[in-house]
Structure 1
Amino acid sequence: MARPTRAQRAAIAQRRADAVELQLAGVDWLTIGRKLAADPTINSDRIAYPQGYGAELYAKGKEPPDDAALIRYACKDVSTALRERHTELDIAVDELRIVHHMRLERLFFVAFRRAVKDGDLLAIDRAVRILERDSRLLGIDAPARTQLSGPGDGPIAVESVTAAELAKLIAATEGGSE
């Protein structure tokens, strides 16, 4: 099969966007498949959707895809479109992270100069806060390790309790008693 032309790729991208919009609107998979089918005999709008499902079959005058195939095509289009959008979002987030990092660097420079030059305690505090924020943004800080353990650092005993017993335990804990 030949590589799609630029116009075909654009039509496929539009078909995927249409599939996502229909799915978000709550349209069932088969209806999406029929709406985006290339063959007007099965297309719910009775038109040949550009680069629609079964376009190769329609171009060759063969039988259109069955309902199961239309559902598969619609699901695949939505999955592909969402995966591409996720990748675009990841790229946008990375770019935004760089911009925020650069802004924090500028702010840090001002606070650092004041802190070092004047020994200004507020500037020192501000510089430290900027460093902390930048470290979180860039993931420099080691993650805090949280460990739950039972008595004597042993395992936690899991028991089933009734709602009333659970309420009593919560009340006792909130009251400060153990």
Structure 2
Amino acid sequence: MARPTKAQRAAIAKRRADAIDLRLAGVDWLTIARKLAADPSINSDRAAYPQGYGCERYAKGQEPPTDDALIRAACKDVREALSERRAVLNEEVEELRSVEAERLDRLWFVAYKQAVRDGNLAAIDRALRIMERRAKLLGLDQPARTEVTGAEGGPLQIETADLAELEALIAITENAARGSE
């Protein structure tokens, strides 16, 4: 299969954006897939969607994809589009993190000079706060270790329950919630 042209890539990006918009609006997968299908006979708008699902089959005059194939295509589109958006966001976050680190470095230098030169306690406190913020921003501090224990520091007791026991617990919880209203 040949690499898509620039126009085709733009149409695919548009289709993916439309798929995400529809999904965010609460539209079910099959409706999304049909709305973005290339073949007018299955497209819910009765129009050929540019670079829509099954466009290769439609161009060759073949039968349109099955509902399952359309749904898989719509799911894949949304998954790939969200993955691309995450990558862009991660790049932007890294760029912003670098900018913020530079700003903190400049502020710290001013506070540090006053703290060391003058012994200014307020400047010392400010320098420490800047250092704390920088450590949080860059993840320099090691996470605190937490340990979950049972009664009196002993091991946790894990119990199993069957469906009837779980339903009874849910009913008790729901009744207690209604009683507190």
TM-score (norm 2): 0.83
RCO comparison, higher one (Cα < 8 Å, 6+): 1
Deviations 1:21-74 (A, max 9, x none): 011111111111111011111111111110000000011111111111111111
**Aligned counterpart, 2:12:** 12
1:6 CA drift (Å): 0.9
Runs of at least 5 residues in structure 1 that lack an aligned partner in the other structure: 164-178
2:89 maps to: 89
Tell me the equivalent position of 1:146: 146
For structure 2, list consecutive stretches of 5 or more residues without a partner in the other structure: 161-168, 173-181
Q: Which residue of 1 aligns with 2:25?
A: 25
Paired residue for 1:112? 112
Residue in structure 2 matched with residue 173 of structure 1 by the alignment = none
May I ask how many residue pairs the two structures share in their alignment? 162
The equivalent of 2:48 in structure 1 is 48
Aligned mates of 1:44, 1:157 — CA distance in 2: 55
- Counterparts of 1:156 and 1:66, CA distance in 2: 50
CA–CA separation in structure 2 for the residues paired with 1:67 and 1:74 = 10
Change (3 A) 1:126 1:2: same
- From the superposition, tell whether residues 142 and 26 of structure 1 become closer, same or farther in structure 2 (CA, over 3 Å): same
CA distance in 2, matches of 1:4, 1:154: 62
By how many angstroms is 1:156 displaced?
Answer: 3.7
Residue 127 (str. 1) matches residue 134 (str. 2): no
**1:148 offset after TM fit, Å?**
3.1
Amino acid corresponding to residue 27 of structure 2 in structure 1: V
Give deviations 1:117-176, integer Å, cap 9, x for gaps.
Answer: 10001100110110011011101111111123357754244679x98xxxxxxxxxxxxx
Superposed CA RMSD? 1.9
Residue 136 of structure 1 pairs with residue 164 of structure 2: no
Partner of 1:57: 57
**Runs of 4 or more above 6 Å deviation:** none
SS of the residue corresponding to residue 91 of structure 1 reads: helix
